[in-house]
Copies of this chain bind each other. A is one copy, B any other.
Amino acid sequence: MPQPVFIASDHRGFSLKNKLKLEHPDFIDLGPSELNPNDDYNDSANAVAKKVLETPGSKGILICGSAIGVSIQANRHKGVRAAVVSDLDSAIKTREHNDANILCLSSDKISDSKDPLESEKALEDVSAVVNAFLETDFSNEPRHVRRIKKLDEEL
Residues of A within 8 A of B (CB): 38, 40-43, 46, 65-69, 71-73, 75-78, 81-86, 89-90, 93-94, 97-98, 100, 106, 108, 143, 146-147, 150-151, 155
Q: Is the CB of B40 within 8 A of A66?
A: no
Q: List 14 A-B contacts (CB under 8 A).
A: A38-B143, A40-B143, A42-B151, A66-B83, A66-B90, A66-B93, A66-B98, A67-B84, A68-B83, A68-B100, A69-B97, A75-B75, A76-B151, A89-B108
Shortest beta-carbon distance from A79 to chain B in Å: 11
Given known pairs A75-B72, A76-B155, A77-B155, the reply for A97 and B150 (CB within 8 Å) is no
Q: How far is the CA of A93 from the CA of B84 in the complex (A)?
A: 15
Given known pairs A40-B150, A155-B46, the reply for A71 and B75 (CB within 8 Å) is yes
Shortest beta-carbon distance from A132 to chain B in Å: 14
Contacts of A71 in B (CB 8 A): 71, 75, 84
Closest A-B pairs by Cβ, 3 of them: A75-B75, A84-B84, A42-B150
Contacts of A69 in B (CB 8 A): 97-98, 147
Given known pairs A38-B143, A147-B42, the reply for A98 and B76 (CB within 8 Å) is no
User: Could you say which of A66, A81, A86 has the most chain B C-beta atoms within 10 Å of its C-beta?
Assistant: A66
Contacts of A85 in B (CB 8 A): 68
